[in-house]
């Protein structure tokens, strides 16, 4: 039987050598938990242990991409397990509706789609070869093997500073335009929809927090454009708890 000290949620997070959350998708879940003030405890899992750990819990594999991924959660009161930041967000929103977090809006969808298309690939290419530096030796081996197989070249190739700069230069107009879109409701408040956060704010803050944990320079490449830091700063209260 659950006691008062038993957390409602167990969060399966991605381990790094700083012992704090850095995965952008896990940060989306964590922001929901922190904002809604839901009691939880974290289990940090190393990259090579994600699949065996989550399979052992009886979770069904993802249909596409990596079979097992974090975030995953256990809802302790019902002993329910689930995987994937979107289904988890829906579950948390319906189970803990107060305070509400709008999960979808027309503006939010546009921002998330454009961010994934225009900034996603550029930021990923800058973060991937640096992320390996905050992994344990076992996780580094797994990460290098799987990511180099996916991109077809050594991770370090992505650190060529001339090419990296070119990628960011090519994305500049869209990063700036997206920053303007983030400020559409600026007069009503610091968040995308105005006074209160929506899941799109968590998506933006989570991506920036991931970048910042991996490499301050990559964070700055985006945060220097108007719009981004306002949301990041406004989400700070919900990013204080990182583990
Ligand atoms: N669409 C999934 C993506 C989750 C995802 O890709 N998570 C990464 C960590 S950031 C992972 O668990 N990768 C497993 C692996 O690389 O084996 C979600 O939103 O939850």
Residue range(s) of every CATH 3.40.30.10 domain in the chain: 9-95
| C-beta 66 within 6 A of ligand 1 | yes
Atom 9 in ligand 1: which residue has the minimum CA distance? 70
Mean pLDDT of 89-96: 98
CATH topology (fold) of 106-238: Glutathione S-transferase Yfyf (Class Pi); Chain A, domain 2 (1.20.1050)
Is the CB of 50 within 6 Å of ligand 1? yes
The residue-averaged pLDDT of 106-117 equals 98
Q: How confident is the model at residue 4 (pLDDT cuts 50, 70, 90)?
A: low
Q: Is 84 in the pocket of ligand 1 (CB under 6 A)?
A: yes
**Residue 17 Cα distances to 14, 26, 29, 143, 192, angstroms:** 10, 16, 20, 14, 33
Res 227 pLDDT > 90 = yes
Enter the pTM of the model.
0.97
Euclidean distance between CA atoms 78 and 86, whole angstroms:
19
What CA–CA distance (Å, rounded) separates 174 from 87? 29
The CATH superfamily of 9-95 is: Glutaredoxin (3.40.30.10)
* Lookup result for tokens 């905050």: 134
Q: Quick check: CB of 70 below 6 Å from ligand 1? A: yes
In contact, 32 and 92? CB cutoff 8 Å? yes
Burial of 78 (0-12, 13-18, 19+ CB in 10 A): exposed
Give the N- to C-terminal CA distance of the chain in Å, as an integer: 25
- Please write the tens of the pLDDT for every residue from 120-169: 999 999 999 999 999 999 999 999 999 999 999 999 999 999 999 999 99
């Amino acid at each position: 039987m659950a006691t008062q000290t038993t957390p409602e949620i167990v969060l399966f997070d991605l381990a790094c050598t700083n012992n704090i959350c850095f995965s952008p998708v896990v940060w989306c879940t964590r922001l929901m938990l922190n904002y809604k003030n839901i009691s939880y405890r974290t289990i940090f899992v190393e990259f090579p242990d994600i699949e065996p750990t989550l399979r052992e819990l009886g979770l069904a594999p993802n249909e596409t991409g990596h079979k097992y991924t974090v975030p995953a959660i256990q809802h302790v009161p019902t002993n329910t397990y689930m995987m994937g930041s979107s289904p988890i967000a829906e579950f948390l929103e319906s189970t803990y509706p107060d305070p509400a977090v709008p999960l979808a809006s027309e503006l939010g969808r546009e921002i998330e789609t454009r961010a994934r298309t225009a900034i996603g690939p550029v930021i990923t290419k800058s973060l991937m070869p640096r992320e390996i530096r905050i992994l344990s030796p076992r996780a580094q081996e797994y990460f290098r093997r799987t990511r180099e197989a996916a991109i077809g070249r050594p991770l370090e190739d992505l650190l060529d500073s001339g090419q990296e700069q070119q990628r960011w230069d090519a994305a500049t107009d869209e990063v700036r335009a997206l920053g303007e879109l983030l400020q559409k409701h600026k007069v009503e408040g610091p968040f995308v929809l105005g006074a209160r956060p929506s899941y799109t704010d968590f998506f933006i803050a989570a991506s920036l927090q991931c970048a910042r944990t991996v490499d301050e320079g990559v964070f700055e490449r985006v945060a220097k454009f108007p719009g981004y830091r306002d949301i990041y700063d406004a989400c700070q209260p919900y990013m204080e708890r990182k583990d």
